[in-house]
Amino acid sequence: MSCLPSSSLAEVFIGSRLHLRMLAQRIVGTLDLAEEVVQEAYLKVVERASIEVVGKPQAFCSQVVRNVALDHYRRQKVESTYRIYSDDGELPPVAGGFTPDQLVQDRRMLAAVDQALDTLPARTRHAFELYRLSGMTQRDIGKKLDCSATLVNFMIKDAMQVLMSCPVLRTGMAD
């Protein structure tokens, strides 16, 4: 097994460029991406050629192209899960994402809810919060507040009536 001088490593790469491009294309899928991979691999090979002598230049070049193509494929796969495309160039709405207008409206509505609930007796507000926010049953709330489940039901109804009478919340709920 003879070792080629480092200057001929680039020549071997250039001589087998078509084969290397086909190898890259099988991994990355398109000819354009394969061209990018081969170009990147060539730069790595030339950089390496100035450092050491390679025993099997064809195998070395193929391995470099394969590694670069696999790296590119993996990076592309990860990026595609996070990248969002749209036809008009605008960012499409993201699931769970909010526009600034929506955030302002939601904050205004939350402040209105808080203000409306502040008009209730503390025990009624607490019962309502336990029911709506903590998901407790009326029976469990009754035990916690030391009252009947029927009274809890009336407290929750009172809180809902106060919220429904608030104009900001009525218009926000209609949207």
- Residue 59 sits in which domain range? 7-82
Establish how many alpha carbons lie within 13 A of residue 23's alpha carbon, considering only the half-sphere containing its beta carbon. Answer: 21
User: What burial letters (b/e) apply to 6-38, b meaning 16+ CB within 10 Å?
Assistant: beebbebbeebeeebbebbbebbeeeebbebbb
Asked if the structure places residue 170 within a domain, the reply is yes
Q: Hey, what amino acid is at 25?
A: Q
What pLDDT sits at residue 137?
A: 93
Same domain, 58 and 22: yes
- Per residue in 38-63, pLDDT (tens digit) is 999 998 888 776 666 677 888 888 88
Number of domains comprising the chain? 2
pTM (predicted TM-score): 0.45
The larger pLDDT score, comparing residue 130 to residue 89, is at 130
Name the nearest CA neighbour of 172 among 92, 105, 124, 125: 105
Count CB neighbours of 61 within 10 A. 28
